[in-house]
Amino acid sequence: MHEQEQLFIGGEWVTPSTGARIKVISPHSEKPVGSVAAAGTADVDRAVATARQAFDEGPWPRTDPAERVKAIRRLATLYSARRDELAQIITAQLGAPISFARRAQVGLPGSMIGAFADIAAAYPWQENRPGVYGQDIVLRREPVGVVAAIVPWNMPQFLTVTKLIPALLAGCAVVLKPAPESPLDALFLADLFTQAGLPPGVVSVLPAERDVSAHLVGHPGIDKVSFTGSTAAGRQVATACAANLTKVSLELGGKSAAIALDDADPATVAKAVRFSGMGMAGQICNALTRVLAPAGRLDDYTDALTAELSTIRIGDPSDPDTQMGPLVTRRQQERVRGYIDTGLREGARLATGGSAPPTGLDTGWYVQPTVFSDVTPAMTIAREEIFGPVIVVLPYRDEDEAIRIANDTEYGLAGSVFTADTAHGLHIAGRVRTGTFGVNQGYSMDPAAPFGGVKASGYGRELGREGLESYLNTKSISIAQSPSPPDSAG
């Protein structure tokens, strides 16, 4: 059992303002694995005030960027030494298979910390530019201020790192708010910040329920909100930020399409969809969940997906051989099962899976990998984000119809095309309206490549140079050129 009685505010462990607790339940055993103190609104006020003082008066925003880079590199070293402990915590609280937790939930974020430090080390923090009207122009990139980083439960370490590290490198102070389903890994990190040499006040970690999150988002002491979550919640965050004119970036839902062109290989597409769509039991925002197949080859793609997904080993997430674990909560399990029942009711053909629990797994919030064929674009399962291990296969008659179907969604987060002609794949990428796209792969998140969506998938970018810049303001300074000295001759 992981127990934490205190909150981490500004580099110190402090007594919370309330006696409220957050219980963490194993999605596999359905038994408690931990409990932490729940922050109240008074704790939010305290954390924001501490961050405000650290930013307005403390050394971190005024520290040379090269020194901030050194501190983050120290954090990367500390993080690397604790990766296995962190992976086990994530497996216990989220049901992520331990192999996936080590690789994607902890290993990938660990490597990204160093990659972000490299980006900051090479970043042009100041630029000189000649003015049009004779003056000299100096551009300075300065930290945006106090950041509220709101992280969901599905990939908590990855999303914490993509928000927290660029914000710190920029010189910001951060109040990190993990989801109530996944507070343990965030609190585990807290002591590492102090060990890495971050000044007091720069980082706070506040596990809290959603009403307290709303108080944080709407707090007048916050300069920037970085939010990842559902589109419905994102709209509420955007409205709250508008009231204070608070800067905000939103990474929201998705319903990404994998377009298989006539020359694509069904087995290759099926493997890519498995990699993209089944990670964390399908609880990934940029998962490829719609497969668009040529009408004449619909059965080929349905059969390939069925064969590929049938090899997934489902079970105890602590077993190194397990490839897919449970969904994070009973509520999420019931939601996904409801979508499967809706698909059947609306006339889609169930190729594999279904709403019954996997064989031998009567305990735990499990859902079978599920494939629907004979799906039309109007069906609920083709339009709404399911956030579970459910793939739908839709036929198209020609390439133009495939593009129309791919774009016929409120979302625009990611997508892919599969073809033997890479140049043509790039052409298709230009016609699909998303923020990110892959050619012959499920979209792969690289530290150098900005990630984010369009339409109802949000706005703003994380990762890459653009991710760092989202925590910076650009200040323009005009300098008058010195007048010529007077002529001293006779």
Q: pLDDT of 177-197, one tens digit each?
A: 999 999 999 999 998 999 999
Question: What gap in Å lies between CA 123 and CA 237, rounded to an integer?
Answer: 30
pLDDT (mean) for 386-401: 98
Strand, coil or helix: what is 218?
A: coil
Q: Torsion-angle region of residue 170: left (phi > 0), alpha (psi -120 to 50) or beta?
A: alpha
Q: Which one is catalytic: 251, 308, 385, 462?
A: 251
Residue 268's nearest CA partner among 288, 250, 239, 240 is 288
pLDDT digits (tens, 9 = 90+) for 229-240: 999 999 999 999
β-partners of residue 35 are 3, 23
Residue 484 pLDDT greater than 80, yes or no: no
β strands within 30-87, DSSP E:
32-37
Q: Let me know the angle formed at the C-alpha of 105 by 196 and 364, rounded to the nearest 5 degrees.
A: 130
Confidence of residue 483 (pLDDT cuts 50, 70, 90): low
Pairing of strands 32-37, 126-130: unpaired
Report the 10 Å Cβ neighbour count for 171.
Answer: 25
pLDDT (mean) for 90-117: 97
DSSP state of 200: T
pLDDT digits (tens, 9 = 90+) for 195-209: 999 999 999 999 999
pLDDT digits (tens, 9 = 90+) for 320-354: 999 999 999 999 999 999 999 999 999 999 999 99
Confidence of residue 486 (pLDDT cuts 50, 70, 90): low
Q: Which one is catalytic: 181, 241, 285, 385?
A: 285
| Contact in structure between 241 and 247 (CB atoms under 8 Å) | yes
Any catalytic annotation for residue 241? no
Using CA atoms of 458, 460, 463, 464 in order, give the dihedral in degrees to the nearest 10. 140
What local confidence, expressed as pLDDT, does residue 481 receive?
79
Residue 444 pLDDT greater than 80, yes or no: no
Residue 388 pLDDT greater than 50, yes or no: yes
What local confidence, expressed as pLDDT, does residue 442 receive?
83
Contacts of 92 (CB under 8 A, 6+ apart): 2, 24, 26, 33, 34, 184, 318
What local confidence, expressed as pLDDT, does residue 1 receive?
78
Any catalytic annotation for residue 285? yes
| Contact in structure between 327 and 283 (CB atoms under 8 Å) | yes
Question: What gap in Å lies between CA 127 and CA 105, rounded to an integer?
Answer: 37
Helix (H) or strand (E) holding 288: strand 288-294
pLDDT (mean) for 450-461: 97
What local confidence, expressed as pLDDT, does residue 487 receive?
58
For residue 223 the two structure tokens come to: 């300069």
Residue 485 pLDDT greater than 70, yes or no: no
Q: What's the pTM?
A: 0.95
What local confidence, expressed as pLDDT, does residue 490 receive?
42
What local confidence, expressed as pLDDT, does residue 277 receive?
86
